Amino acid sequence: MSRSLGRSGPSGYVAPVSHHLRRALLAVFVLAVLVTAACGGSSGGESDPIKSAGVLRVGTEGVYAPFSYHDPATGELVGYDVDVAKAVGEKLGVRVEFVETPWDSIFAALEAGRFDIVANEVTINPERQAKYDLSQPYSVGEGVIVTRADDNSIRSLADIAGKTAAENATSNWSEVARQAGANVEAVEGFTQAITLLNQGRVDVVINDSIAVYAYLAETGDTSVKIAGTVGEKSEQGFAARKDSGYLPELNGALDELRADGTLAEISQRYLKADATGAPASTPIRDAGVLRVGTEGTYAPFSYHEPTTGELTGYDVDVARAVGDKLGVPVEFVETPWDSIFAALEANRFDVVANEVTINPERQAKYDLSTPYSIGEGVIVTRADDDSITSLEDLSGKRTAQSITSNWAQVARDSGATVEGVEGFAQAITLLNQGRVDATVNDSIAVYAYLAETGDTSVKIAAETGERSEQGFAARKDSGFLPELNGALDQLRADGTLTEISQRYLKADATGTAPAAQDQGPPPTRSALDLVRDNLWPLAKAAITMTIPLTIISFAIGLVLALAVALARLSSNVVLTNVARLYISIIRGTPLLVQLFIVFYALPEFGVRIDPFPAAVIAFSLNVGGYAAEIIRSAILSIPKGQWEAAETIGLDYVGALRRIILPQAARVAVPPLSNTLISLVKDTSLASTILVTELLRQAQIIAAPTFEFFALYGTAAIYYWVICLVLSFGQSRLEHRLERYVVR
């Protein structure tokens, strides 16, 4: 049967399936299975990329209340957009990680894969839709025009043509203002925009009605108003990279949040809540202490209370109040003003609280907080001097200024010769003594001084026309500013800052505006260029001041020392005791005190000595006291037989000293006297405190506007070292020449 079937005729013949056909059918079957499996796998994993990843990374600004900010009490990142993102994560069953990023770079960071989505009130518009995946909106508002309350010239978009608007450069509202013909000033956020508006620096701000109404409800600010609307509805949602595949999950979660009322609850919670802002990071709180550098001699800002000796003052108490707000103790490190920034860079403390004027040069080098005092520059002269009535009148005059202060540069730019001093009190002293013609300083300090002392010997002769803002200074990129500014905002809001100002300054001198951000950093030179350009000025200071001051003082001091040493060896009791007293006073008091007595105290008795001669007198007296004992010891080291031999050959006392004793004593005295000379070279740097522009002072003057302390002080140190090397070589040669006087 099988055979018959296999051989049947054409009508009943069934051909066997070919080998090639079987392979083709098998391939089709396998391909179908693979496609099905792939589709099934895709539907199970790739359609839910967020759930598959197990985490949703969210980029947000962290400083845009009430949408994304830090709670002042806990430091926790909160806000409407933040909580919406957290709620979406809960709906998707994944954890949410926030990456805080400045708004102007947030989209670049998104494209770089730093996070998955942006949650920061991203306005949905055609341009962004073409570039990114934008979710359905989770907040809806309209654009509004904000002006000063007394400005009735703007009622619509058409009215802002030719006006100046403050807007975030990459925001949707920046483009709205620009298209309406306004000049756009870029700002960091809505708060700064409102500040510039109140200051009259801009005419208008355009923003979302949600942000504006939340701001007005929170602050009660009556200085601004909503003047009109832009006629544009604004919708805000999440933004993701194009074709990310996130939208189905995001939109599904938002639908659920909208349906169960969660979205409405979050909106009610934040759009009527505290919108003050707080730090994005907490390095001060983490450290558990705030170390503050301050001068301690600059009343009424930083000084010691006369009766208790306690460090106090306006800046000191502001720093303490900031510490209270941050919940950390405050430690003060007292440092002279001229070296306070060098100490800050050396990490001796975290911030400077010493009426630090905010200017572009410092902004380029340091982190400067929002101002906590605002004043203006004034020119102070003697009460009987009517020759100075403006900045122009300072040309050719001499002013007393701290060389690292902002006012030193103001005076210098006006053509004045600036004498460096340690502080305002010293400047007033020089002014009253007639050594300078004027001093330029902040009106806050001057009015406080006049109110405190009742000094009628000086007067405010003119204003400089420059506004001054003072704040904290920290190292660049320290991360301290958010905490400092947040604390200052709280102190300003609760009236503490004003109360401290009234206590010390007898007026409200508190700052209410952030430091100007529209001033770019000045052109800077490299440290190498700076050193190269100032090699000669530093060398000139060494040649014309440091070296002459050393030589003259040592020569006079050596003569004085010989006389005092001989007096000590004298049999005359009066001479011996006078010499003892002199040596005791010189060796028992600091050299700096001796300098101050000669230069600052003697004028009270009618004796006024110019800086260089005053330095020579003080250094000579100091050398005389120390070198006298060296010479006396050297003379006593000579054997008595040498005196007896001198008498035998008929030499009297003076002849014996000159021909026999002193030549031999010199050999013994040269090494310690050389040490005294080398020490004197370095001690001449103290002459800068009495207005002698020697080597170190010249380095300070150059470093003041550039803040290149290491390069310039290092160069000065090399000059001192070279001078001392030359002296050491001279010492060796002199010792060799004196060998012939040694008795062997």
Confidence of residue 20 (pLDDT cuts 50, 70, 90): low
Residue position matching structure tokens 């605002």:
374
- Do residues 290 and 349 lie in contact, with contact meaning Cβ atoms separated by under 8 Å? no
Strand partners for 299: none
Q: What are phi and psi of 376, to 5 degrees?
A: -145, 155
- pTM for this prediction: 0.47
Within 8 A by CB and 6+ apart from 172, the residues are 123, 125, 234
Confidence of residue 742 (pLDDT cuts 50, 70, 90): low
Tell me what the mean pLDDT of segment 658-680 comes to: 86
Q: Which residue has the higher pLDDT, 296 or 217?
A: 296
Top-confidence range, 203-207, 616-620, 713-717? 616-620
Top-confidence range, 118-132, 295-309, 379-393, 631-645? 379-393
| Burial of 516 from C-beta contacts in 10 A (0-12 / 13-18 / 19+) | middle
Percentage, residues of the chain above pLDDT 90: 39
Tell me what the mean pLDDT of segment 660-675 comes to: 85
Confidence of residue 524 (pLDDT cuts 50, 70, 90): low
Residue position matching structure tokens 């989505």:
117
Within 8 A by CB and 6+ apart from 322, the residues are 290, 330, 472, 484, 487, 488, 491
3-class secondary-structure state, position 395: coil
Q: Which residue has the higher pLDDT, 465 or 556?
A: 556
User: Residue 337 has what pLDDT?
Assistant: 83
User: Residue 520 has what pLDDT?
Assistant: 42
Q: What are phi and psi of 511, to 5 degrees?
A: -85, 145
Confidence of residue 594 (pLDDT cuts 50, 70, 90): very high
User: Residue 571 has what pLDDT?
Assistant: 87
Across the chain, what does the average pLDDT equal?
83
Confidence of residue 23 (pLDDT cuts 50, 70, 90): low
Sign of the dihedral through C-alpha 496, 497, 498, 501: positive
pLDDT above 50 (res 485): yes
- Do residues 204 and 210 lie in contact, with contact meaning Cβ atoms separated by under 8 Å? no
| Burial of 141 from C-beta contacts in 10 A (0-12 / 13-18 / 19+) | buried
The span from the CA of 168 to the CA of 146, in Å, is 15
The span from the CA of 106 to the CA of 133, in Å, is 15
Confidence of residue 667 (pLDDT cuts 50, 70, 90): confident
pLDDT above 70 (res 743): no
pLDDT above 90 (res 500): yes
Tell me what the mean pLDDT of segment 553-573 comes to: 93
Tell me what the mean pLDDT of segment 425-446 comes to: 88
Confidence of residue 40 (pLDDT cuts 50, 70, 90): very low
User: Residue 509 has what pLDDT?
Assistant: 84
Percentage, residues of the chain above pLDDT 70: 88
Q: Regarding beta strands 139-148 and 205-208, do their DSSP bridges make them parallel or antiparallel, or are they unpaired?
A: antiparallel
How many Cα neighbours within 13 Å face the side chain of 92?
A: 29
Residue position matching structure tokens 């919670």:
269
Top-confidence range, 203-207, 372-376, 490-494? 203-207
Q: Regarding beta strands 417-420 and 205-208, do their DSSP bridges make them parallel or antiparallel, or are they unpaired?
A: unpaired
User: Residue 138 has what pLDDT?
Assistant: 87
Rounded (5°) CA angle 176-177-178: 95
Range name among 275-279, 530-534, 677-681 with the lowest pLDDT average = 275-279
User: Residue 271 has what pLDDT?
Assistant: 66
User: Residue 272 has what pLDDT?
Assistant: 53
| Neighbour tally for 125: CB within 10 Å | 15
pLDDT digits (tens, 9 = 90+) for 190-220: 888 898 898 898 999 998 777 787 777 667 7
Residue 218 Cα distances to 77, 121, 229, 483, 580, angstroms: 19, 19, 21, 21, 75
User: Residue 9 has what pLDDT?
Assistant: 37
User: Residue 303 has what pLDDT?
Assistant: 85
Tell me what the mean pLDDT of segment 521-538 comes to: 76
3-state SS of 596-619 is: HHHHHHHHHHCCCCCHHHHHHHHH
pLDDT above 90 (res 635): no
3-class secondary-structure state, position 656: helix
Closest CA to 77 of 210, 261, 86, 269: 86
Q: Which residue has the higher pLDDT, 199 or 143?
A: 199
Q: Return the C-alpha torsion angle 20, 21, 23, 27, nearest 10.
A: 140
Rounded (5°) CA angle 563-564-566: 65
The span from the CA of 488 to the CA of 142, in Å, is 32
pLDDT above 80 (res 170): no
Closest CA to 131 of 240, 251, 245: 240
The span from the CA of 499 to the CA of 305, in Å, is 19
Residue 227 Cα distances to 160, 175, 212, angstroms: 11, 19, 12
Within 8 A by CB and 6+ apart from 245, the residues are 46, 47, 49
Residue 377 Cα distances to 45, 54, 380, 423, angstroms: 68, 59, 10, 16
3-state SS of 32-85 is: HHHHHHHHHHHHHHHCCHHHHHCEEEEEECCCECCCEEECCCCCCEECHHHHHH
Using omega within 30 degrees of 0 as the cis cutoff, is the peptide bond preceding 66 cis? Answer: yes
Tokens of 540: 């000139």
Q: Return the C-alpha torsion angle 191, 192, 198, 201, nearest 10.
A: -160
User: Residue 22 has what pLDDT?
Assistant: 54
Q: Which helix (H) or strand (E) holds 240?
A: strand 224-241
Confidence of residue 8 (pLDDT cuts 50, 70, 90): very low
Tokens of 296: 């301690």
pLDDT above 80 (res 59): yes
**Gyration radius of the chain over CA positions:** 39
The span from the CA of 290 to the CA of 483, in Å, is 11
User: Residue 37 has what pLDDT?
Assistant: 42
Closest CA to 452 of 413, 425, 416: 425
Sign of the dihedral through C-alpha 469, 472, 473, 474: negative
Closest CA to 66 of 215, 282, 187: 215
What DSSP letter does each residue of 503-562 carry, written as one string? HHHSS-----SPPP-S-PPPP---HHHHHHHTHHHHHHHIIIIIHHHHHHHHHHHHHHHH
The span from the CA of 63 to the CA of 100, in Å, is 9
Tell which phi-psi region holds residue 666, choosing left (phi > 0), alpha (psi between -120 and 50) or beta: alpha
Tokens of 350: 């975290």
Range name among 49-58, 141-150, 409-418, 607-616 with the lowest pLDDT average = 141-150
- Do residues 408 and 427 lie in contact, with contact meaning Cβ atoms separated by under 8 Å? no
Tell me what the mean pLDDT of segment 451-458 comes to: 82
Sign of the dihedral through C-alpha 276, 282, 288, 294: negative
